[in-house]
Amino acid sequence: MFQSPEYCKTLSLKLSEVLEDVGVNEEMVMKRRRISMLKESLITITFRLTGENRTIYILGSQSEGTTTIGLRSDVDRVIVDYDYNVIQNWREWKHNKTNLLMIQDENVTPGYCFLQLLRSDEPLFETNIPNEHCIRDSIGRILLRNTFQTSINRENTERHGPSNAVSGDDGYCDNDIVFAFPCNSWPQSVSQFLERPGVMRWLSSESVRYAASCDCFVVGASSKIAAYPALEWRISTSLAERCLMFHLNITQLQCYVLMKIILKTFLNPQNPSNLSSFMCKTVLLHCIENTEQKIWKRDNLFTCLSYCLIELRSYVQNENCPHFIISENNLMAGQFTAEEKRNVLQKLCDIIQSDGRCLLRINIDDISERLQGKLSTIFQIACNIPTALEIHEEWSCNLFINLMKQVNRMVIILVKTDNLSNYFICNHKQIILRLTYYSIRGNKLEQLAIRYLLPFLSSTLGLTMASTRIGENYPVPYEALKWLTLGLNSDVTSGRLKLASMFYCVGDMDRAEFILRQTESRYNSTVVEIVCGCWRNPQTSRSAEFKRKCCELNENCLNSITSCCVKFLQSEVNCVPRELRYEMMRSTQDDMPYRSMHETLWMDYAVVDSLPYLYFLQYKTYGHLQRHQDQQLALSNLAKVTFTGRNFGHRETALNLLGQCMEQENKPRETLQCYMLSLQQRERNNTAKFHICNLVRKYVANM
């Protein structure tokens, strides 16, 4: 901070431009927030429809828009279970809930609490220990351990404090899943922050009221200095904090992102340790509360950053960083040894005294090269560094793809059932009816979430009705066709392919061919991208035109530029070609243990990527219509997309279908090659094993 005001102003403006280029601008921030909130609505609606009294909140940097590709921030998901009720007094006790009395006494760290178990049938203390998750303390209270709801057995899951980390699900980010219990009301220590003059000066009265209306909950985590670490639960005000972050201007958000980049580059270069991004956020909020809003502008960004770093150094020096909302909670209590404190202070001093030169040593998101390029008329940004447009398109593309994957996963959960035929139809109608009711009462995000879900569910309902009637040797009813029609625009292809599949199975080849031809004409390969939420595969490249559409348009366009895999339930079996039905029996008893929890939801279905299935259906349909030239063209297209198509989630299924077509063409060598390649794609849970055995049996029989 020892440079001239003109230097600080120039550096601030150029630094702000760099951050805008890497995605910290108003447009991208709002897009990321919108899609995170939309995912929240999708998952919460699914919880409600499946009878779970839970709400999910997507919190942290990804939902705030306060991250960059280079920071690789986690997605923090909090699942709040409303079958539990954390209370402050007996008036809040509820019948048939698991009631937990919040205890904050001299044995509990500020910002934390004990939870005493109460009876659910009447407002009395529980006197018996119900399970291993509870303990009786020295004065006879039955207290709940903080490990109660966080021991999730899940593939690719690692325990980090109160959360369970799930790796690699969203392209650039991991997922931290935290289970929480809702508080019936705010603790007194939480509600006091709304009365602070700085908060009232910073936020509008409407914003203060909204923050006050946000739920408060407890999560299973103890402080570093806890006397009873197994019993402490952290009081979480994440929703109120998110409300505060949503009210920051772009300069304040950029300042926070810079603090995190500096933290990762200089203070925690390898792994998170003593200082955390949450501490940086807390420092920023305190600085905003204690200053005038007019200083937080683009041409003052570097000065604001320096002020925040000086405050952070002061907090480290005093080993006291008060939680912004629960001020009694010291976030730095027990965080540092004497040597760690000296090292952190020295690094902070070096950063502050560098007068911005440290920014030229930041490699994350190529900050150094980008900043030098903007400050110098001579220095040129390297050609291999992504442009601002490329970064914005990449962000938008990943946001849209992951949103559609989320839609697909929620559909799988909603249609998951062991019941067939009439019961499923009745239950499914009830789900659609409830969704329609929610769409009337819900907010705009909930209405959009429901608009994503309804077409997929309508297709499933219509095809189940048709399959049931076909199995009973009756014609397909008009109601089934109506539901299938409502599902045509679920995405570019899958709803139409389900309808074509039904027509093929009832022998109406002309209508099947018409729909397949229409579907193929709608599939513009330069724009449309394949989406599959079944496997947790890493994302590969997407087309330039698709990225451009994602960047230019909002999430309403999603169903017109994505092609989802086609899923057939057991209840739809009579509308599935024989060659694809084998996929419903993909697993032997030896394969079962190799299913992940997520895969178990759909492994007993027949699931295939849309484009291979389109050409497979064309091959079969043209064969019945005696159009042999068109049939061979369809077979050629099937082979081409099976081997060269990008981002397929079920390439092994496509290879199995291609193999059966080759078998029909009497080409045993090519048939075996397809099945062997399929096994290379998926060694387990693959019907290729059956097809190979069947092929060998036929070969031996013909010897």
For residues 336-342, average pLDDT: 90
In the prediction, which pLDDT does 380 show? Answer: 67
In the prediction, which pLDDT does 384 show? Answer: 82
Could you tell me the two tokens for 690? 């059956």
In the prediction, which pLDDT does 227 show? Answer: 93
Could you tell me the two tokens for 346? 């020295």
Cα-based angle 620, 609, 420 (whole degrees, multiple of 5): 80
- The residue whose two tokens read 């404090």 is 161
- The residue whose two tokens read 């958000």 is 253
Residue 256 sits in a domain of what CATH number?
Answer: 1.10.1410.40
Residue 583 sits in a domain of what CATH number?
Answer: 1.25.40
In the prediction, which pLDDT does 261 show? Answer: 96
In the prediction, which pLDDT does 6 show? Answer: 86
Q: What is the DSSP letter of 55?
A: E
Please indicate, yes or no, if residue 45 is contained in any of the structural domains: no
- Average pLDDT of the chain, as a whole number: 89
Same-domain pairing of 81 and 203 = yes
- The residue whose two tokens read 């989630």 is 649
Domain of residue 634 covers 577-703
pLDDT in tens, 169-221: 444 455 678 999 999 998 887 777 877 877 777 888 788 888 888 889 999 99
In the predicted model, is pLDDT for residue 145 greater than 90?
yes
User: How far is the C-alpha of 665 from the C-alpha of 675, rounded, in Å?
Assistant: 15
- Count up the domains in the chain and report the number: 4
pLDDT in tens, 110-122: 999 999 999 999 9
Give the confidence band of 539 by pLDDT, cuts at 50, 70, 90. Answer: low
Please indicate, yes or no, if residue 557 is contained in any of the structural domains: yes
User: How far is the C-alpha of 693 from the C-alpha of 374, rounded, in Å?
Assistant: 65
Please indicate, yes or no, if residue 56 is contained in any of the structural domains: no
For residues 353-378, average pLDDT: 90
Domain boundary among 509, 530, 565: 565
For 239-253, 541-555, 687-701, which range has the lowest pLDDT when averaged over its residues? 687-701
Give the confidence band of 493 by pLDDT, cuts at 50, 70, 90. Answer: very high
Please indicate, yes or no, if residue 47 is contained in any of the structural domains: no
Give the confidence band of 150 by pLDDT, cuts at 50, 70, 90. Answer: low
Asked if residues 233 and 115 have their Cβ atoms less than 8 Å apart, the reply is yes
In the predicted model, is pLDDT for residue 154 greater than 70?
no
Same-domain pairing of 407 and 539 = yes
Same-domain pairing of 370 and 441 = no
134 bridge partner residues: 144
Same-domain pairing of 523 and 659 = no
Determine the 3-state secondary structure of 382 from DSSP.
coil
Asked if residues 502 and 575 have their Cβ atoms less than 8 Å apart, the reply is yes
Instruction: Say which residue, 636 or 587, is predicted with more confidence.
Output: 636
In the prediction, which pLDDT does 174 show? Answer: 55
In the prediction, which pLDDT does 534 show? Answer: 85
Please indicate, yes or no, if residue 60 is contained in any of the structural domains: no
The reported pTM is 0.90
pLDDT in tens, 552-577: 988 888 999 999 999 999 999 999 99
C-alpha closest to that of 105 among 237, 191, 227: 227
In the prediction, which pLDDT does 175 show? Answer: 64
Domain boundary among 244, 265, 286: 244
Same-domain pairing of 551 and 630 = no
In the prediction, which pLDDT does 537 show? Answer: 65
Percentage of the residues of the chain whose pLDDT score is greater than 70: 92
Same-domain pairing of 508 and 606 = no
In the predicted model, is pLDDT for residue 1 greater than 60?
no
Same-domain pairing of 390 and 368 = no
Asked if residues 398 and 171 have their Cβ atoms less than 8 Å apart, the reply is yes
pLDDT in tens, 370-418: 999 888 876 667 678 899 999 999 999 999 999 999 999 999 888 875 5
User: How far is the C-alpha of 449 from the C-alpha of 559, rounded, in Å?
Assistant: 12
In the predicted model, is pLDDT for residue 242 greater than 90?
yes
Residue 602 CB coordination number (10 Å) = 23
In the prediction, which pLDDT does 157 show? Answer: 44
pLDDT in tens, 157-169: 444 444 454 444 4
Same-domain pairing of 124 and 208 = yes
Please indicate, yes or no, if residue 36 is contained in any of the structural domains: no
Domain boundary among 212, 229, 244: 244
pLDDT in tens, 35-58: 999 999 999 999 988 889 999 999
Secondary element (H or E) of residue 129: none
Could you tell me the two tokens for 532? 């599959």
Please indicate, yes or no, if residue 378 is contained in any of the structural domains: yes
Per the document, the length of the chain is 703
- The residue whose two tokens read 């289970």 is 179
Instruction: Say which residue, 377 or 581, is predicted with more confidence.
Output: 581
Same-domain pairing of 583 and 596 = yes
Percentage of the residues of the chain whose pLDDT score is greater than 90: 70
Q: What is the DSSP letter of 448?
A: H
Please indicate, yes or no, if residue 128 is contained in any of the structural domains: yes
Same-domain pairing of 468 and 544 = yes
Same-domain pairing of 262 and 409 = no
For residues 597-624, average pLDDT: 92
In the prediction, which pLDDT does 50 show? Answer: 87
Could you tell me the two tokens for 390? 């490329």
In the predicted model, is pLDDT for residue 153 greater than 90?
no
In the prediction, which pLDDT does 272 show? Answer: 58
Same-domain pairing of 307 and 445 = no
